[in-house]
Structure 1
Amino acid sequence: MEYPHREAPVLNKAVPVRHPGRWISAVIILGVLVLFLQSLVINPNFRWDIVGTYILDTKVVQGVGWTLLLTVASMVLAIVLAILLAFMRQSDNPVFRWSSWAWVWFFRGTPVYTQLIFWGLVSVLYPKISAGVPFGPELFSMDTSTVVTALAAAILGLGLNESAYLAEIFRAGLKSVDRGQMEAAEALGMGKTKIMWRIILPQAMRVIVPPTGNETIGMLKTTSLVLAVPFTLDLTFATNTLANRTYLPVPLLIVAAIWYLVITSLLMVGQHFIEDYYGRGVDNLAPAAVNPAAAKAAAAVAPSASAEPALRMDFPEEEEK
């Protein structure tokens, strides 16, 4: 029995969606960027010759080194204190909890510039550091200025202030881990310290790392305030000194900005890789591995699917439905 010829279905002609707003915004942004770059090139007041002369000046390079030292040392001190404060905030001991809260309250509530001035004047407030029996003989004493140098005061001022902010970041990361993780580990007989270091903290790092990276970049630029101590070897002070000597502040500011941009870019690259490391299994966007058994089953089903149209032709009424 023959069936009448059926016309092939007409495929829909898909029309791509127009996005005129994207092109208009791109043209505007490119136009503004071209005008800005043109002004940088043709404006003689930027004095790019002076920028090229001082970009690798000995004082500037030394200032970059001292700035990196301040950033790394202050962040190490802040991270150690922040972990301790976050654990104290999660403790069942009310003394630990309220002590941690008071620390965060004080160092977040006062300006970092004020704190740096205080650490610069600590040798005036306490000329000597001594230890001994209360109301009794003194065992030893030393001059505060020999212990709390300008570098030590800058690191203490920056690190203690930053620890208050990082403590809240770490606390948020610890609270992001489901409490069932700790309960399951306790059921296996693990101690609380081991649970924190082996179970909770590694999972919390996915939440902790991004804001900590931002705080590190912020710390890099906050080192420009250590003149309050006073510490006079950082990058900002070095470029300001050269600017006062040459009476050309703009090109020296550009020199400092270029170095800050270079260091910030390197820190952002490092932050990206650390985030990828702690985001494995959660933030991984790579396609899932192919299951060999599933692929074999799919291949076995394919021939029967290709034969389906021929089977349908034996029942045209059903096909019409």
Structure 2
Amino acid sequence: MTPSPPRATIADVAAAAGVSRTTVSVALSGRGRVDARTREHVKAVAAALDYRPSVRAQRLRSGVSHTVGLVTALPDEVVGKDSRMSFLLELGVPLARALLERGYSTLLLPPAKSGSHLDNIDADAAVVLDPRADVPLIEGFRSRGLQVITIGDAPGIQADGVVDRGTSDAEVAIGHLVDNGATNIVALSTVEQHSLASSLRSYALGPRPDGVRLRLVEISADAGEEGGKARARDLLRDDPSIDAIYAPIDAFAVGALHAAQEAGMRVPDDIMIITNYDGPRAHATTPALTALNLQLPAFADAAVSLLIDCLTDPRAERRTIPAPRPEVVQRASTRRA
């Protein structure tokens, strides 16, 4: 097997062009003062030698990594296990593609409650999904000089930019339940004030149609599917007239479904169940769970646009843009005859 020829270096380009390495660097970067003819000459020599600048060296000189981390503040019990981090992947792929087109790499990071084990990550910015104010994750990133964009908002969140989901998830999901005849609805939220919990609380405090009862019940996110099942079992035992459950966290929704079935209730005839994320958990249950199309590619585009604005024009004030509105993906768990 014939060995590949050695890769041309900046020293090779400088020698062939008859200039210094500094001149080569300045000419190829497009910055600094170099005579136009010299710049074009250096570019032609570099092209002839098939010279490609070292990305690592450029980053060392500039102090900019051109890397963005993607992480969620939700625990592994929610985004890992049966879900297999699919939500992060579905969001991460279009996000990474859009960032790569702008010269940035993406790091998919495991769920984290604090940024301490991420201190050695070399990144310029972080996108934090479902943030909460009472953990030091965002504070840790910002203290290291990273620009932070969050997908979702909650009181006390200190971010440079926010893709604000508002209350649209709850509006669409609960609206679907009401349209299908629900009058006694329970919404399963998290005790921890993630952005999902904050938006659901805001919705629950607002007006609703006459004759519709909505109760907000909180569960620790760490409890996962078993926590959703245990809480739903107690609720259905105490009030068998509950005819619908909205659980934004899909692990809670699966637990609620199992609790209803063990209580002898028919889904959807006796009780309807809907969740947010249209992922593996929603597809794997019997009956399959109605969910929301969260428009994740549009989410990614919005987050990248906001992130690039924050990186190129850092400001003291927070920038906010609205998230795309979700749509219902109806399945058997709410499809009544």
- TM-score norm. by structure 2 comes to 0.25
Q: Which has the larger radius of gyration?
A: 1
More strand by share: 2
- TM-score norm. by structure 1 comes to 0.26
Greater relative contact order: 1 or 2 (C-alpha under 8 angstroms, separation 6 or more)? 1
